[in-house]
């Protein structure tokens, strides 16, 4: 859980999670929403993947990233319990 909170501390990574909420995307599709390099977005995706917030699948030469919804839901439930 520590890695997940650390990953979500960055505003760019939070925005990536919001984009992936709408469905899976390639790194170039994600990068189109930011004024940073694709290498920078790839690094953010690596952090999110290592924190288990994002999953990916390979299809030919493309890698599609998607929100790992069950982990995000677990975090939300934990935060709700914490606030009660």
Q: Which residues pair with 53 in a beta bridge?
A: none
Question: Residue 19: what pLDDT?
Answer: 96
- Non-local (6+) Cβ contacts of 51 within 8 A are 3, 4, 6, 7, 8
pLDDT digit string, tens, across residues 17-75? 999 999 999 999 999 999 999 999 999 999 999 999 999 999 999 999 999 877 777 77
Question: Residue 73: what pLDDT?
Answer: 78
Whole-model pTM? Answer: 0.85
The dihedral built from the CA positions of residue 21, 55, 25 and 23, taken in this order, carries a sign that is: negative
Question: Residue 4: what pLDDT?
Answer: 84
| Residues comprising the chain, all counted | 84
CATH number of 2-83: 1.10.10.10
Q: Are strands 54-59 and 62-67 parallel, antiparallel or unpaired?
A: antiparallel
Question: Residue 82: what pLDDT?
Answer: 78
């Amino acid at each position: 859980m520590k890695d997940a909170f650390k990953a979500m501390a960055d505003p760019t990574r939070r925005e990536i999670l919001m984009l992936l909420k709408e469905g899976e995307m390639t790194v170039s599709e994600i990068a189109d929403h930011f004024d940073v390099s694709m290498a920078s977005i790839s690094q953010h995706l690596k952090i999110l993947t290592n924190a288990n917030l994002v999953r990916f699948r390979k299809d030919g030469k493309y890698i599609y990233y998607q929100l790992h919804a069950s982990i995000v839901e677990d975090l939300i439930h934990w935060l709700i319990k914490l606030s009660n």
